[in-house]
A and B are shown apart, each in its own frame.
Chain A
Amino acid sequence: MKKGFYLRLALDGMRKNRRLYLPYLLTCAGMVMMFYILYSLAYSPAVRNMRGGSTMAMILILGTVVMAIFALLFLLYTNSFLARRRNREFGLYNILGMNKGNLGRILLWETLLSALVSLLAGLACGLLFAKLAELFLAHMAGETVGYALTVEPRSILAAVLFFGVIFAVLLIVSLARVGISKPLDLLKSEAAGEKPPRANWILALLGLLILGAAYWLAVSIEAPLTALTVFFIAVVMVILATYLLFIAGSVALCKLLQKNKSYYYRSDHFVSVSSMTFRMKRNGAGLASICILATMVLVMLATTSCLYFGGENALRGECPYDVSFSLYCDHPEDCGPEAPERISELAHTLSGGREKDLTVYTLSGVSGLFRDGVLEMDGYSRFADLTSSASVLEKIRTVYLTPLSEYNRLMGTDYALEDGEALVWSSKKAYAYETLTFKGCEPIRIRGSVKDLPFRVPASETLVTMYCLIVPDWTARAAELHDFTAGLEDPLIKSDTLQLCSFDLPGVPDEEQIRITEEIVQSALDEQREAGLSFSTMSYKTRAANRTDFFSMYGSLFFLGIVLSIVFVAAAALIIYYKQLSEGYEDQRRFGIMQKVGMTVKEIKSAVNAQVLTVFFAPLLLAGLHLAFAFPFLHKIVRLFGVLNTPLLILTSVICFLAFALFYVFVYRSTARTYVAIVSAGEEGR
């Protein structure tokens, strides 16, 4: 009987406050659902068995972790909002004779009910939508999966455990809150004696300065990998600055407007500016959170969609040929024409004569630090990773040697050069020196430059500047370089000599391309064993196989981007909704007073609208600004992933922003209805 009493009080309280509880429960259920979907996908055998499944699983696990942390923080926030609203009710119970233990039991029931409802609803939706999500993910990764619905007991258990812990934390926090409060405080109305906001100029200025500095940092980043830490600092600074600007900056701005008497004392500004000051003081933190969530959504969606839609181009950049074989020679003098010729023949026969643009070429190359026409290989390995700073990366060059005879044959030219001379091709700026010297070898005189190479260069090679020297005495030059680098202490510094045999298979399906390639490899290896084909190692690369890898990664990144965006957007929507609610309750009272003092309903509505619009659209605008300043960095990041399509990134950014803005307006309008309902209820009540 007594137990039933507290349960009924809890149920009653939730029903009476359904305007608050319904969205809260929906959010909890949504979080459970998203968590279940991500978790079950991350551990789903179907995903693991896809090509690149382990990459996908890793990305999904990462997403689950982000989702879990966010769920905890966000539910703490919404719960505290709920608790503030319910204080009055608890205060009344307290005065009517309930002690804190009794209140605790109501809270316990409430938490249990919330947990039960959100877990049941969330898991039910999760089970339903997990399959849909799996199909969607598989589609993006270019795979197919069966349609059979599966139930993952392990994921259900994980969701129940994780959200069980979250609800336990929420309960403890609520109990602690009731425990430390005094009954009169509980009863006191929220609106009682709000202090007028004081402009904190120092914090406002600090916010501006930090934002400026963060923007400057983000824009001035040159090497994305080294600067990842710098970017994270910039991100933290932007978050800090956003909070400072919304909390202190906005109030300061309003105060500034109030000081301007001829601006302030006008019927269209007077009420808006002064109430805005209070509104911003109350809502600064919430708005800053919305702004940051919006920025995260925009950044995530813009980049992942750009990667996904730019993936095919990136793939073509990385794999310029459908199929490419690299035969490594131990020494340049061992490089005979037989092996590549044999591969070409195999390609021709095994593909049934469907190969196109078959190109065979020979390269020998090395990387080093370049200074005034001299390439220094020694000691280069200290810098030889992409984490080097921009100024070092600037100095790194990859230089290839390729035989003139091959060049003339492939291009149909008849250049003639003396030994010790070369033509140069540069991937970036034109070569500016008379000679090029591999430090420790004879200098090579540059006789001129060419615009085109007879073969296609993978995009990753041109992340640093690449030179290709076309030399008549290739064997001697390559041997000299090989012998010199082999004599260096550093095992990482080694010139590679390789013969490439690349071709396209237009119109041949991906699976068949992979099969043909594997057949060629098998035959070549058999022949090497039996007939002693002269290569030490062989590697091969097919665009078809890479495509699956690319899309399993970009597809799952994009998928994660979408899922997390939905979560963040839902969170932002809930914050907006709660803000509208609290604003509504506040304005209900003011609305009445203003009417009595002689404002028309129209005047009041337009003043309130102006403020509410400013309040809700400021975060959107600032998020757009954040995105704009993050753009150069995002651009470099997607470049690093091989997507070199700047217009595409601009397009995805703009589309994401517009789509988000549209959604924002929609959320705003539908929540505004609640606001109007509350304010008009006040009108009737008078």
Chain B
Amino acid sequence: MSILEVRDLRKVYTSRFGTQQVEALRRVNFSVEQGEYVAVMGESGSGKTTLLNLLAALDKPTSGTVLLDGVDTASLPEKDVAAFRRDHLGFVFQEFNLLDTFTLEDNIYLPLVLAGKSHKEMAERLAPLARELGIDGLLKKYPYEVSGGQKQRAAAARALITEPRILLADEPTGALDSRSTDELLSLFAQVNRRGQTIVMVTHSVKAASHATRVLFIRDGEVYHQLYRGKDTNEQLYQKISDTLTVLATGGEVR
């Protein structure tokens, strides 16, 4: 069974007084298998973030379903959604979203504290993860004291420490310089190699070229997919670029 299954997803935004309707997503169908690394690409306004919000159950679809491990997230009662999100999903955002009142360590602990884990267990989980992400020396620092790349790695640690079924990333490299971007992408590839499922929304070709599959969204629809197959990152990069060129010039991709 797929770990994530999206069926005929549609999302319509209605303006405050109900006079204007915007269809952000329509007829979106795809599924993600255990251990996949899926990049969702599209230009600004194409519905990427809407899709991610629906996957994360931060928002409810107008119609269609999102099945996470066979559970329809839209059907969960409001009080269980947060816990479900906490237990099954990990998030990495473009703007890091670290709480500036916490040290990096406490930021990473936050989801575990909310889940009621003991401090001993939290510390045991953090130690190997911090080493893997290369932030073990920075744990006592506050977000404002470290660089963007370090912040993003801490945010990734926060997402991974709950051992989520899926890691959802929203433009994770958007606010990083190229060196930090490379570091983060190779980290993502590395955790993916040890079995972590990742869904990443991005419009960076470079970021997408690290994925095993790339979905293209245009005007709210899944428009095209690319599978890595046996391609290297560079070859995939080339294919993505070609696809984007075709998309931009409005042609049809076969």
List chain A positions with a Cβ less than 8 A from chain B.
193-196, 261-262, 265-267, 270-271, 274-275, 277-278, 590, 592-603
A603 CB to nearest chain B CB (Å): 7
**Does B37 lie at the interface of the complex (its beta carbon under 8 Å from any beta carbon of A)?**
no
Complex-state Cα separation, A601 to B83, whole angstroms? 11
Tell me the smallest distance from the CB of A604 to a CB of chain B, in Å. Answer: 9
What A residues does B116 contact at CB under 8 A? 266-267
Contact B142 A196 (CB under 8 A): yes
Bound state CA distance, A262 and B111, in angstroms?
Answer: 16
A274 touches B83 (CB 8 A): no
Q: Which listed residue (A277, A595, A596) contacts B101, Cβ 8 A? A: A277
Given A597-B97, A598-B83: A266 touches B102 (CB 8 Å cut-off): no
Contacts of B89 in A (CB 8 A): 598
Complex alpha-carbon distance, A275 and B110, angstroms: 13
Rounded to whole Å, the gap between the CB of A393 and the closest CB of chain B is: 56
Known: A270-B106, A275-B101. A598 touches B144 (CB 8 A): no
Chain B residue with minimal CB distance to A274?
B101
Known: A196-B142, A262-B119, A599-B82. A593 touches B113 (CB 8 A): no
Distance in angstroms from B249 CB to nearest chain A CB is: 34
Closest partner residue, chain B, to A193 (CB atom): B144
Given A593-B97, A593-B99, A598 contacting B86 (CB threshold 8 A):
yes
C-alpha spacing A266/B110, complex, angstroms: 10
Which residues from chain B contact A275 at a C-beta distance below 8 Å?
99, 101
CA distance A184 to B100 in the complex (A): 22
Specify which of A261, A274, A602 is in contact with B102 (CB 8 Å cutoff).
A274
Q: B254 in the interface, Cβ–Cβ < 8 Å?
A: no
> In the bound complex, how far is the Cα of B144 from the Cα of A145, in angstroms?
66
A453 CA / B109 CA spacing, docked (Å): 80
Q: A593-B97, A598-B83, A598-B111 are in contact. Are A265 and B158 (CB under 8 A)?
A: no
For B83, list chain A residues within 8 Å (CB): 598, 600
Interface string of B81-120 (1 = CB under 8 A from A): 1110110010101000111111100100111011110110
> Quick one: given A265-B109, A596-B91, A602-B79, are A194 and B100 in contact (CB under 8 Å)?
yes
User: Are A596 and B58 interface neighbours, CB within 8 A?
Assistant: yes
B93, B122, B142: the one within 8 Å of A265 (CB): B122
User: Number of B interface residues, CB 8 Å?
Assistant: 33
Which chain A residues lie closer than 8 Å to B111 at the CB level? 597-598
Chain A minimum-CB-distance residue to B112: A265
Q: Given contacts A267-B114, A275-B101, are A600 and B82 in contact (CB under 8 A)?
A: yes
Find B119's partner among A195, A265, A596, A601 (CB 8 Å cutoff).
Answer: A265
New contact pairs (17) apart from A267-B115, A596-B91, A596-B93, CB-CB < 8 Å: A193-B144, A265-B119, A266-B113, A267-B114, A270-B110, A270-B114, A271-B110, A595-B58, A596-B97, A597-B86, A597-B91, A597-B97, A597-B110, A598-B86, A598-B111, A600-B79, A603-B82
- A270 touching B144 in the complex, CB below 8 Å, given contacts A596-B91, A599-B82, A603-B82: no
Binding site for A on B (CB under 8 A): 56, 58, 78-79, 81-83, 85-86, 89, 91, 93, 97-103, 106, 109-111, 113-116, 118-119, 122, 142, 144, 158
B85/A598 in contact, CB under 8 A: yes
Q: Which residues of B contact A277 (CB under 8 A)?
A: 101
Distance in Å: Cβ of B144 to nearest Cβ of chain A: 4
Q: Can you list 20 A-B pairs, Cβ within 8 angstroms, ordered by A?
A: A196-B142, A196-B144, A262-B119, A265-B113, A265-B119, A265-B122, A267-B113, A271-B110, A274-B106, A278-B101, A593-B97, A595-B58, A595-B82, A596-B56, A596-B97, A597-B91, A598-B82, A598-B89, A599-B82, A603-B114
Given the interface contacts A194-B100, A278-B101, A593-B99, does A598 sit within 8 Å of B106 by beta carbon?
no
Closest CB of chain B to A267's CB: distance in Å?
5
Taking CB atoms, residues of chain A closer than 8 Å to B102 are 274
Q: Which residues of B contact A598 (CB under 8 A)?
A: 82-83, 85-86, 89, 111, 114
A8–B102 CA distance with the chains assembled, in angstroms:
43
At the interface, is chain A mostly helix, strand, loop or mixed?
helix
Q: Verify A270–B113 contact, CB threshold 8 A.
A: yes
A469 to B98, CA, bound (A): 84
Instruction: Give the distance in Å from the alpha carbon of A685 to the alpha carbon of B58 in the complex.
Output: 14
With the chains together, A274 CA to B58 CA distance in Å? Answer: 25
Q: How far is the CB of A265 from chain B (nearest CB, A)?
A: 5
Given the complex of chains A and B, what is the CA–CA distance between A267 and B93 in angstroms?
23
CA distance A594 to B93 in the complex (A): 13
Shortest A236–chain B CB gap in Å is: 34
A278 to B158, CA, bound (A): 22
Bound-complex Cα distance A603 to B81 (A): 13
CB < 8 Å neighbour of A590 from B56, B99, B118? B99
Q: Inside 8 A of A274's CB, which chain B residues have their CB? A: 99, 101-102, 106
A198 to chain B, nearest CB (A): 11
Residues of chain B lying within 8 A (CB to CB) of residue A595: 58, 82
Complex Cα spacing A179 to B115, Å = 51
Name the residue among A265, A271, A277, A592 with the largest chain B CB count within 10 angstroms: A265
- Residue from B82, B106, B111, B144 with most neighbouring chain A CB atoms (10 Å): B82
A contact residues around B113 at 8 Å (CB): 265-267, 270
Whole-angstrom distance from the CB of A680 to the nearest CB of chain B? Answer: 14
CB-CB under 8 A for A195 and B99, given A265-B122, A267-B116, A598-B114: no
- Closest approach, in angstroms, between the C-beta of A686 and any C-beta of chain B? 9
B51 to chain A, nearest CB (A): 16
Task: Tell whether, in the assembled complex, residue A261 and residue B110 are in contact, meaning their CB atoms are under 8 Å apart.
Answer: no
Q: How far is the CA of A18 from the CA of B124 in the complex (A)?
A: 52
What is the bound-complex CA distance between A275 and B98, given in angstroms?
13
Q: Which residues of B contact A597 (CB under 8 A)?
A: 86, 91, 97, 110-111, 114, 158
B85 contacts across to A, CB distance below 8 A: 598
Tell me, rounded to whole Å, the shortest Cβ–Cβ distance linking A55 to chain B: 55
- B135 shortest CB reach to chain A, Å: 18
Q: How far is the CB of A366 from chain B (nearest CB, A)?
A: 72
Q: Would you give the shortest CB distance from A632 to chain B, in whole angstroms?
A: 42
Name, among A193, A262, A598, A602, the residue most crowded by chain B CB atoms within 10 Å (CB to CB).
Answer: A598
Closest Cβ neighbor of B106 among chain A residues? A274
A250 to chain B, nearest CB (A): 14
- Please, how many angstroms separate the alpha-carbon atoms of A193 and B89 in the complex? 29
CA distance A594 to B107 in the complex (A): 10
B113: nearest chain-A partner, CB-CB? A270
Whole-angstrom distance between the alpha carbons of A267 and B103 in the complex? 16
Give bound CA distance, A584 to B238, whole Å.
48
Give 8 closest A-B pairs by Cβ, nearest first: A598-B86, A600-B82, A193-B144, A593-B97, A270-B113, A265-B119, A196-B142, A275-B101
In the complex, A517→B99 CA distance in Å? 80
Alpha-carbon distance A274/B109, docked complex (angstroms): 13
**Residues on A with beta carbons closer than 8 Å to the beta carbon of B110:** 270-271, 597
Q: Which residue of B lies closest to A273 (CB)?
A: B101
Highest count of chain A CB atoms <10 Å: which of B101, B116, B122: B101
